[in-house]
Structure 1
Amino acid sequence: MIFYGHYRVTNDKKGDNMIGCLCLHGFTGSPYEVEPVTRYLEEHTDWLISVPTYPGHGEQLMLKGITHKLWIDEAERAFLELRKKSGTLYILGFSMGGIIGGYLASKYGCDKLILLSASAYYMNPAQMVKDIKDMIIKGVRGTLKDDELYLRYRKKFMDTPLSATFEFRKLVKTLKPSFRDIEVPTLIIQGECDGLVPRKSAEYIYKTIPSKRKKLCYLKESKHMICHDVDQEQLIEEVFQFLMEPTK
């Protein structure tokens, strides 16, 4: 039976009929980036939720000497492992995880695909200027040191070698053409105040994928860390409703 709101979704299925959901984080990130969504799914369903961490990633970054192929391989390994246990399989990818998720959906297929701030393009100069101004204001007020997301971004910047950034660019260039082969139902969500991934990234993906069932949703006040931002409730509602819709 399926219930909404504060109830739990129980599909009463086992083995080959089980539902699995692969959730992929972004470049220099960790499962924390998608944790609000994965926690909600764990609390409201009995699905198998897989959230792999790419080599060199996690709370302590160790990216020196790590290639983008290793990131793809780890996501692919987790996908194939989950596929063994699930008859129905969903993929959710954030930022770089959206690029990898699109690749997996095009190569193997899945039942539904969700792309959050997927980085087909990256860097939004106008929004970055606004964000820097906001940080300067917070710095003057002495409140910047209490901004958790700023502290995480600062640590990422300090701990990310230039070689890793080049590997990220290689990954996007290599996997971006995969969007032309995505036939599965797809939900694309983009924050309008994202300084790292511009609006045109979501627009490009929406126009490129040939799926007959696709939806593009903008969150007006959200920046890049979309799962943790002010429109979090709307994001989770959009994701959950999309996953609850019949596949046929």
Structure 2
Amino acid sequence: MIGCLFVHGFTSNPKEVNELVKHLEDKSWMVYCPELPGHDGTKESLKQFSYKHWVYKTEVALEELLKRCDTVYVIGFSMGGVIAGYLAAKYPVTKLVLISSAVYYLNPKQIAQDATGWFMEGIRGELEENELYHFYLDKVKRTPVSATIEFAKLVRKLRHALDDIDVPTLIVQGESDGLVPPKSADYIYSHIQSEDKQIFYFPNAKHYIWFGEEKQELIDKIDEFLDSTTARKERDVDDEDRTTETVYH
């Protein structure tokens, strides 16, 4: 059986990636997208947890999938991509997909362009109709400073795990992403040690690529990568060492 762990992003939740998860479930795979601790949509809840709680939740989920499935893929979105990379370096997963992964975060140039556009829409009285603007505004309102600090800690502590990834990896990035700049994807690609790695850019896509016109192309790209035949990474005698290694320095 094929299993797939999908790790959602910071201040996100499984509902926001449900369309991609449902697509994978339709393949008759065992797909799990756990809600990270504190990510129930409330500001107070998010204050109660650290990045270690987020990582631990995904480790428990992945270990369960590895017990049940012969082949396990890991997909990570945004902050979830950083966690997914850490998991792929530590556990015997088969393939890794990283979507808008936040090794670097905030793209000032794109943010300025988006802000200018929103300003002009405000002048024309059209801003209330902009769903993306309200989507991000709501996230900002629900994000405590303490959680943002934990997010930064997570990136700093886990980023170096990229150097230990040697499984087939697909990196996907929107070039118009205001939250994660393209250099994040470049950094990931240059540090991953796998001989089978691909990087794909969507020129007009923002952070949530599947919310835009490129949705089907994104799904096709993921399908092409995951459904292709590659040698499965063997779970050999090194497994015990890999699963007990820590990257918290």
Q: Check if 1:82 corresponds to 2:56.
A: no
Specify every segment of 5 or more residues in structure 2 that has no aligned partner in the other structure, as ranges. 232-249
- Kindly provide the CA deviation profile for residues 14-40 of structure 1, in whole angstroms up to 9, marking residues without a partner as x: xxxx10010111001111332221121
Distance 1:109 1:141 in 2: 54
Alignment of 1:51-130 (within 5 A): 51-61=33-43, 62-130=45-113
Alignment of 1:32-51 (within 5 A): 32-43=15-26, 45-51=27-33
AA aligned opposite 2:59: E
Q: Check if 1:22 corresponds to 2:5.
A: yes
How far apart are residue 42 of structure 1 and its match? 2.0
Match of residue 3 from structure 1? none
Match of residue 233 from structure 1? 216
How far apart are residue 246 of structure 1 and its match? 0.4
How far apart are residue 197 of structure 1 and its match? 0.5
Specify every segment of 5 or more residues in structure 1 that has no aligned partner in the other structure, as ranges. 1-17
Match of residue 8 from structure 1? none
The range that moved more, 29-38 or 238-247, is: 29-38
Match of residue 187 from structure 2? 204
Distance 1:222 1:58 in 2: 26
Task: State TM-score, norm by structure 2.
Answer: 0.89
AA aligned opposite 1:35: N
Task: State TM-score, norm by structure 1.
Answer: 0.89
Match of residue 13 from structure 1? none
- Kindly provide the CA deviation profile for residues 59-113 of structure 1, in whole angstroms up to 9, marking residues without a partner as x: 4442113111001011111111222211100000000000000000000121000
Which structure 1 residue ranges, 4+ long, deviate > 4 Å from structure 2? none
How far apart are residue 58 of structure 1 and its match? 3.1
Q: In the alignment, is the contact (CA less than 8 A) between 2:41 and 2:142 conserved in 1?
A: no
How far apart are residue 132 of structure 1 and its match? 0.6
% identity of equivalent residues: 46
Q: How many residues are treated as equivalent by the alignment? A: 230
Match of residue 6 from structure 1? none
AA aligned opposite 1:127: Q
Q: In the alignment, is the contact (CA less than 8 A) between 1:33 and 1:225 conserved in 2?
A: no
Q: In the alignment, is the contact (CA less than 8 A) between 1:26 and 1:96 conserved in 2?
A: yes
